[in-house]
Every structure is written in structure tokens, then in C-alpha cells.
A = this chain, B = another copy of it.
Amino acid sequence: MAGKVQYFAGLDLGGTFLKYALGDHQGAILFKDKLPSRADQSGEQVFQVMFQAVRNLVQEAKKNGGELSAIGVGSPGAIDFEKGRLVGRTPNIKKWADTDIRGTLQDEFSIPVWVDNDANIMALAESRQGAARGVKNVICATLGTGIGGGILIDGELYRGSHFAGAEIGHMMIVHNGLPCNCGGRGCFELYTAAPAILREYVSRMAANKKTVPEHVTTKIVFQRAAEGEHEANEAIDMAIDYMGTGFASLVNIFNPEMIVIGGGVADAGDAFIARIHKAIELKAMKPAMKGVKVKRAVLGNDAGCVGAISLALEMLQKTNKVVASLI
């Protein structure tokens, strides 16, 4: 590697697209693109897409006078970070159970690969290049169809003893409440993520004998709330009240410096985030809440690639340090 500039590949695997990007040693993105991920086909097809993406990045690295030094990957599902592979299945990608992502990519490209779940990758991205840049203790929540959680303690991702932690969406905030796919009941995400807002909106509209648009989205609900529609505002108020309960609990447990909220629901904007902040303040313990900032995630669609690049470059640095200390 003598003299060559080091570049890093970030892959963000989703059910529809594989987003990918080239980053430099500071995590800045030099190039990005996406390919259909073919997640509805097979694991082998998905790997062909990933190979193609990395080959493109190898070329981009050359164009920039350097070479690809490591690959970072964000994937849906539970990831064994140590082994770089899935644990069990993920609903988003067919035939992807227990897949050895690291092994397959390393066999193909002979450079180090690190893999983490997409919620952790998003949290890493926001803490390195986004809303929580330079902040050490952060709770990240991606509000979409569920809640993806990432927890940074002293600047590092907290993954749990066996990489199964940080499931803040499955903190139970309603004792013996709605049954959840996770096996629990009354989980945080069941009352705050997009389906909860839509469920509440549809039921309130039905109760008032009003018609709901056929393909209603949270975006539409937020628009209608802004236009003053009563039911839309009630559905959003409900979600915010539950968010107050859940995030205040996390504040009492972690006493973080910042909560970062991302995902589709957060696109509702800064006023929405400010209302969540107030709802948290109402319920959190004062000493634990003191100085806690609540911010909207800023990296949007780039978060996955930015986080994967950060993961690759930081892990390579750490590995090299360990190797150096052994010489």
C-alpha cells in the first residue's frame, strides 16, 4: 500500500436499492450511486449487485489516484458484528438468513470488510458526520415502519453482549399492551412509528365517518395536520405523547447528551422535533434531562453510505493499531 491514497467503500443494502459510495480517510464522500438490490430474488443475486458496486468503487478509487482499503456494509436484520454475518432472517431480503456477508465479500476482493445493522450504521453516521458530530453519548432513533435504534456511549456504538442490544423500539412502554412481532407486548415502536400514526388516523377518521385517501402516508397525515384537520392532529399528538414516554425513559436510563431522530416520520420537520423535545421534558427526570438536545437526523438518504464508510475506516485504523502494538 506504500504511498497509495486509501479510500473506503460504503454499502447501504436495502430492500429496493443498494446505495454505495466512495469515501476518503476523513469519511468525506467522493462518489455515490445506487443499483437495484434484487432483494426479491436470491442472496446470490444480491451479492452479484454488491460485487458490481464494489468493482465500480475500485475504479473510482483508481481515478482518484488511490485504492480501496476496506469495505463497510450496513444491512437490515440482526448482525453478528464480530463475524460480519446475519443472525437469522430479515424480512426485507429473501433467502438471506445467516448469510456470511463479510466472508463472501472478502473472498471476492481480498480487503477487510465490516458489517453492521442499518440502525447502528445510521447512528454512527450521524455521530461522525451528522447531527451528533463530536457528541459522545447519543441515542439515535430511526422512525419508519418500526424504530431502528443506535446507542453511542463515549463515542462508540453499544451493541450489547452478543450484538442483540440497542433495540429501543422494543422497550415496552405499555404494560401488556399491543402484541408485537418480537414476542413482547406494548413495544415503543407500536405506538410511535409510521404504522401507529396511520392506524390512529384511520380509526379517528372512521369514527367521525370521514373518508381516508386510499394510499395514505404519514406525509399526507402531516400535511393534513398542517392544514388544520382535527383527526390528523390528534393522531400526531398521540404519537408525540408516547414518544415522550419512551424517550424520557431512555433519558432516565442513559442520561445522554443528545437524541437524534431520523427516518421518514422525522421528515415532518423541525417543529415536529421541537414538540417531541417538549414531550420528553415533561416526563424525564430533571437531572437526567439537563442539557439534553433533541435533533433531527441530517444525513437523510446518505446516512447508510456515510456510516458504512466511517465503520470501515475506523475499524481499519483500530485493527492497524492493534497490529502495530503486537509488532
Greatest chain B CB density within 10 A among A88, A256, A287 is at: A287
Q: Oligomeric state, in number of copies?
A: 2
Q: How far is the CB of A29 from chain B (nearest CB, A)?
A: 30
Q: Are A162 and B290 touching (Cβ within 8 A)?
A: yes
Q: Is A136 interfacial (CB-CB < 8 Å)?
A: yes
Interface residue stretch chosen among A47-55, A91-99, A167-175, A310-318: A167-175
Which stretch from A104-112, A199-207, A215-223, A244-252 is at the chain B interface? A244-252
- Verify A171–B285 contact, CB threshold 8 A: no
Bound: A5/B320 CA distance, A: 41
Residue A164 is within 8 A (CB to CB) of chain B in the complex: yes
Query: Which of A164, A177, A253, A287 is the most central at the interface, judged by chain B CB atoms within 10 Å of its CB?
Result: A253
CA A287 to CA B171, docked complex, whole Å: 15
Most chain B CB within a 10 A radius of its CB, from A162, A172, A173: A172
13 further A-B pairs in the complex, CB-CB below 8 A; given A171-B253, A175-B245: A78-B287, A153-B153, A158-B254, A162-B255, A170-B249, A170-B252, A172-B283, A175-B177, A175-B242, A184-B249, A184-B252, A184-B283, A186-B245
- CB pairs A–B below 8 angstroms (14 shown): A153-B153, A162-B287, A167-B252, A168-B252, A171-B253, A172-B249, A173-B173, A174-B174, A175-B241, A176-B245, A183-B286, A184-B252, A184-B284, A185-B283
The chain A residues found within 8 Å of chain B, CB to CB, are: 78, 87-88, 136-137, 149, 151, 153, 158-168, 170-177, 182-186, 191, 241-242, 245-246, 248-250, 252-257, 282-288, 290-291
